[in-house]
Copies of this chain bind each other. A is one copy, B any other.
Amino acid sequence: MVTLGDVAAAAGTSTTTVSRVLNGCGDSHRISARTQQAVTTAAEELGYRPSYHARALKAGRSNTIGLMCNADILSGHGQGYFGGMIDGLNSLVRKQGYNLLLTSDDDRHMTLEQGVIFWKEQRVDALITFGYIIERYMATNTPLAPDTVGLPLVLIESQWPLEYPIVSMNCASAINDAVGHLADLGHQCITYLLPTSSQADDRRSFFEIACKARKVEARIVTVDFPNDRQHDRWETIANRAKAIDQIWSQLADCPAVMAYNDHMALGFQLAAHNRGCHVPHDFSLIGFDDLYAQTALPPMSTISHGLQEMGQRAGTIALEMATSPDAVKTWNNRRETVEAVFIPRGSTGPCPH
């Protein structure tokens, strides 16, 4: 590899000078234009690049933000979620001269520990991760208090109110819009279909409030799914359809359904399909996430997370924490919300009754 010394030798000067020129401190140190020229051309010709590790060791910073996730989110349902996240995050950090280190852990219970290790090893200056990873961690460990750990950490969608900055989605008005959309189409009754294991109760509450405001009947139907988390998403959908089929009597007479997520909505659509009922003719259907809704037939009306923006918000906070240590104290405990948005597409139509 080519080092500062090599460039210095080629330019007939010292490493100090080379370092200064290449870091743009040449002028303030009043280095002659001729020397600067010699240095830059030598560096260019040799294809010099500073050793990342030497630099990071000296500076005590890695100029890297870590994004922690686990295998679930990469290979399972969360692929689209993850991709959207990175989309917003990556361009943001690069503009500040930072890089994004994506770490995913195959062992589903060691993700956070892995992240902390990365931080202790100085591989990353700050970490971004998803709330559920922390929640999973906390189920078997003592909480990580920011003031004792000193770890610059940003959480996305954390249910548990940890003393870290948390960026989360607010879906109240999006759900209100969705309910309004159905009401405008003449629907007098809307079913909210969710898994028994679901934790995001706020969605349900918002749904009920919105229905009350519009004077439409709010029906809650929960379904239990055995053998979930299949590798083949189709299997999952088929499973959901099967479970939904068993409680079909609870669903049959209300032709508008809002589902906990797109995946569940597809399960409903399949179950309906198998019974000869079609969307949007017999049922109006609204998903949640916009991860599978775009490729559904008909294209599914859904509520979108605004993932890119969430990524950017989290990134902004992480960068600030990485840059100035004081910012860590300032940001911890802060809450940022991004507005979800209802996207009407082709799965909703006038009430058939």
Contacts and interface: CB of A to CB of B under 8 A. Distances in A.
Interface of A: 1, 47, 49-54, 56-57, 60, 62, 71, 74-75, 79-80, 82-84, 86-87, 90-91, 94, 99-106, 117-118, 120-123, 232-234, 237-238, 263, 266, 269-270, 273, 292-299, 308, 345
A121 B75 contact: no
A252 B185 CA distance: 35
A57 B53 contact: yes
Number of copies of this chain that the complex holds: 2
B104 A101 contact: no
Given A1-B120, A233-B295, A234-B294, A83 B82 contact: yes
A288 to B, nearest CB: 14
Contacts of A294: 232-234, 237
A84 B76 CA distance: 9
A166 to B, nearest CB: 24
Given A1-B120, A53-B57, A117-B49, A297 B266 contact: yes
Nearest to A81: B79
A101 B1 CA distance: 21
Contacts of A1: 60, 120, 122
A74 B87 contact: yes
Nearest to A298: B273
Max chain B Cβ within 10 angstroms of own Cβ: one of A1, A104, A263 = A104
A99 B103 contact: yes
Nearest to A78: B83
18 contacts: A1-B122, A47-B120, A49-B121, A50-B121, A52-B123, A53-B123, A54-B57, A71-B90, A75-B83, A75-B86, A75-B87, A75-B308, A91-B106, A94-B106, A101-B101, A101-B102, A237-B294, A266-B295
Contacts of A49: 117, 120-121
A122 B75 contact: no
A238 B74 CA distance: 27
A104 B122 contact: no
Contacts of A80: 79-80
A168 B318 CA distance: 38
A79 B75 contact: no
A190 B208 CA distance: 51
A136 B97 CA distance: 24
A287 to B, nearest CB: 11
B99 A100 contact: no
A269 B297 CA distance: 8
A297 B297 contact: yes
Given A94-B105, A295-B296, 20 more contacts: A52-B118, A52-B121, A53-B123, A54-B57, A75-B86, A79-B79, A79-B80, A90-B104, A91-B106, A100-B103, A233-B295, A234-B293, A234-B299, A238-B299, A266-B297, A273-B297, A273-B298, A292-B295, A296-B297, A297-B297
Given A82-B83, A91-B71, A103-B99, A53 B295 contact: no
